[in-house]
Amino acid sequence: MSYASFLDRKSQLDSGDGFDPVWMPEFLFDFQQSLVEWAIQKGRSAIFADCGLGKTPMQLVWAENVVRKTNRPVLVLTPLAVSQQTVSEADKFGVEARRCPDGKVSGVHIAVANYERLHYFNPGDYSGVVCDESSILKSFDGATRQAITEFMRKIPYRLLCTATAAPNDYTELGTSSEALGYLGHMDMLARFFKNDQNTSKPVIYRQRGKDSQKLDDAAKWRFKGHAELPFWRWVCSWARACRRPSDLGFDDSRFVLPPLIEREHVVEVKTLANGALFSLPAVGLKEQRDESRRSIQERCEKVAKLVDTGHSALVWCHLNDEGDYLADAIPDARQVSGKQSDEQKEELFLAFANGQLRVLVTKPKIGAWGLNFQHNAHITFFPSHSFEQYYQGVRRSWRFGQKRTVHVDVVTTEGGLGVLKNLQRKAQAADRMFSNLVAEMNRSQNLARGRVFTKSEESPAWL
């Protein structure tokens, strides 16, 4: 065996554990068919496709193929309120799917349930599982995330679908790899990354009576000197990414987004910080939290004026007090909050999606994943350090299928400008990550097809 062959074997670039598609419907676009065919042949894979590119029909076709191949059901896990939307999409495309919140799946081909209902299901009943908006996995506590990973580990066919696989940190891709049964998170870090703080030992936290592992928040990881290109090559062995069809070599003409207009509003805070003579940028999380609480009234009053147009609006907040103030101050507004039951939340989400509710107020961690609000073209946001929450919150309305210009009003204070700048920095980092993934994916595909590169094309531009 040559040394090159030895290295290739060690790279874990699997050839696939799936099968050739047994059903490929005409309602899928050409790029969607390409992604679904690859995912079925791979068996355990991830599709990182941007919002509105049709992940729901793709995962339904994937699930139907697994059902037809194995003659056993498939479970589709979704965020809250998305399960009903998934079933409606299945009805539209002629795929048999049914919501099963209690785990009773007798006679069901494709069962759809929220992540929170997973404990009702037995993995031995399924031949395949789909995690819709799979980036939400890292938002769960350690015990819940581990339960989902353990559930998937016992199922032969697995598919992850999300638009934000790793919005700020490449190392978050380890969560997806581990759920699919490839390298575990810690194994991935050891292979491709170096910890400058030398704090790579996991810290044990006690949650809900169970031990869960979590990396020290102070840990800072960077690529090893030789590892960046092998890392992207490894990711592309189990994932496909696209922000638009042209990333896969297809035509973009049917997927052109209308303009997005983002406007920043800096409001003056009446109550200054203790001992301050004038407003200064908040430094550190403690000062930023204090700034947020002192400025609730001013920021919420500004948002209430911005959405007092008679048109629909999606209003994102982060604090309970913000949500309560906004719901009272904005005419025709209803709030989706954590204290409500899942049924109440779903009812309000669907009412807004159907145009029965003019203004919806909620937190990104409750409703920023998976829902389709293309009827709405106005969004307000209080900036936080989470780029993923901002991206997903905006993309509920600014997504393929939207026909109007979407306006996003970001409301902050003089003291909160540092948070806004950090959010913008993370947006640039996320764009670089996705560009790297797409570039290496295309390079890998071209090499597989036997394309000969010119000298200028030997490495992707981002290197």
Is the predicted pLDDT of residue 454 greater than 80, yes or no?
no
Domain assignment of residue 299, yes or no: yes
Q: Average the pLDDT over 191-214 and give the result.
A: 53
Q: Average the pLDDT over 138-148 and give the result.
A: 73
Domain assignment of residue 430, yes or no: no
Q: Average the pLDDT over 51-67 and give the result.
A: 95
pLDDT at 270: 80
Is the predicted pLDDT of residue 450 greater than 80, yes or no?
no
DSSP three-state, residue 52? coil
Give the pLDDT band of residue 444 (cuts 50, 70, 90).
low
**Claim to verify: residue 190 and residue 297 sit in the same structural domain:** no
**Claim to verify: residue 187 and residue 148 sit in the same structural domain:** yes
220 vs 277, higher pLDDT: 220
Is the predicted pLDDT of residue 56 greater than 50, yes or no?
yes
pLDDT at 298: 94
pLDDT at 11: 47
Give the pLDDT band of residue 175 (cuts 50, 70, 90).
confident
- Phi, psi torsion values for 284, nearest 5 degrees: 85, 160
Alpha-carbon distance of 318 to 328, in angstroms, equals 16
Domain assignment of residue 2, yes or no: no
Q: Average the pLDDT over 48-66 and give the result.
A: 94
> What's the structural domain count of the chain?
2
Torsion of CA 215, 216, 218, 220, to 10 degrees: -30
20: number of Cβ within 10 Å: 10
Domain boundary among 199, 218, 253: 253
pLDDT at 319: 94
CA torsion sign, 127 to 132 to 135 to 136?
negative
Full domain range(s) for residue 288: 260-423
Domain assignment of residue 362, yes or no: yes
Domain assignment of residue 291, yes or no: yes
**Claim to verify: residue 301 and residue 348 sit in the same structural domain:** yes
Percent of the chain with pLDDT over 70: 83
Alpha-carbon distance of 25 to 301, in angstroms, equals 50
* Secondary structure (DSSP) of 129-176: EEEETGGGGGGS-HHHHHHHHHHHHT-SEEEEEES-SSSS-GGGHHHH
Alpha-carbon distance of 43 to 107, in angstroms, equals 24
366 vs 200, higher pLDDT: 366
User: Residue 210: enclosing H or E segment and its boundaries?
Assistant: strand 210-214
pLDDT at 73: 94
Range with the lowest mean pLDDT among 46-60, 273-287, 396-410? 273-287
CA distances from 203 to 145, 176, 196 (A): 16, 20, 17
Give the pLDDT band of residue 200 (cuts 50, 70, 90).
very low
pTM equals 0.81
**Claim to verify: residue 28 and residue 97 sit in the same structural domain:** yes
**Claim to verify: residue 78 and residue 188 sit in the same structural domain:** yes
Give the pLDDT band of residue 446 (cuts 50, 70, 90).
low
Domain assignment of residue 433, yes or no: no
Domain boundary among 228, 253, 278: 253
**Claim to verify: residue 220 and residue 351 sit in the same structural domain:** no
Is the predicted pLDDT of residue 322 greater than 90, yes or no?
yes
CA distances from 458 to 68, 251, 282, 444, 461 (A): 42, 25, 46, 12, 9
Give the pLDDT band of residue 219 (cuts 50, 70, 90).
low
**Claim to verify: residue 411 and residue 317 sit in the same structural domain:** yes
Is the predicted pLDDT of residue 89 greater than 50, yes or no?
yes
User: Chain-wide mean pLDDT for the chain?
Assistant: 83
Domain assignment of residue 226, yes or no: yes
User: Residue 97: enclosing H or E segment and its boundaries?
Assistant: strand 97-99
User: Residue 87: enclosing H or E segment and its boundaries?
Assistant: helix 82-93
CATH number of the CATH domain containing 394 = 3.40.50.300
Give the pLDDT band of residue 1 (cuts 50, 70, 90).
low
Give the pLDDT band of residue 140 (cuts 50, 70, 90).
low
Report the chain's C-alpha Rg in angstroms.
Answer: 23
* 198 CB-near residues (< 8 Å, 6+ apart): none
pLDDT at 215: 39
- According to DSSP, the β-strands at 313-316 and 193-195 are unpaired
Range with the lowest mean pLDDT among 7-21, 246-260, 387-401? 7-21
Residue 71, sorted as left (phi over 0), alpha (psi -120 to 50) or beta, turns out to be left
- Phi, psi torsion values for 440, nearest 5 degrees: -70, -35
**Claim to verify: residue 209 and residue 321 sit in the same structural domain:** no
pLDDT at 167: 63
Long-range contacts of 105-108 (CB under 8 A, 24+ apart): 105/73, 105/75, 108/73
**Claim to verify: residue 407 and residue 265 sit in the same structural domain:** yes
Is the predicted pLDDT of residue 174 greater than 50, yes or no?
yes
Q: Are 147 and 119 in contact (CB under 8 A)?
A: yes
Buried b (16+ CB within 10 A) or exposed e, 322-333: bbbbbbebbeeb
pLDDT at 131: 94
pLDDT at 142: 66
Domain assignment of residue 453, yes or no: no
Q: Average the pLDDT over 342-348 and give the result.
A: 90
Is the predicted pLDDT of residue 269 greater than 70, yes or no?
yes
DSSP three-state, residue 411? strand
> In terms of Cα–Cα distance, which of 391, 316, 378 is closest to 50?
391
228: number of Cβ within 10 Å: 17
Q: Are 412 and 383 in contact (CB under 8 A)?
A: yes
Token pair belonging to 121: 């299901």
Give the pLDDT band of residue 272 (cuts 50, 70, 90).
low
Q: Average the pLDDT over 156-165 and give the result.
A: 91
**Claim to verify: residue 200 and residue 73 sit in the same structural domain:** yes
Percent of the chain with pLDDT over 90: 46
**Claim to verify: residue 237 and residue 181 sit in the same structural domain:** yes
Is the predicted pLDDT of residue 201 greater than 50, yes or no?
no
pLDDT at 222: 84
Alpha-carbon distance of 326 to 283, in angstroms, equals 27
Percent helix, percent strand, percent coil in the chain, to nearest 5: 45, 20, 40
**Claim to verify: residue 299 and residue 384 sit in the same structural domain:** yes
CA distances from 451 to 239, 380, 446, 454 (A): 21, 47, 5, 10
Is the predicted pLDDT of residue 432 greater than 50, yes or no?
yes
Q: Average the pLDDT over 127-134 and give the result.
A: 92
- According to DSSP, the β-strands at 74-78 and 128-132 are parallel
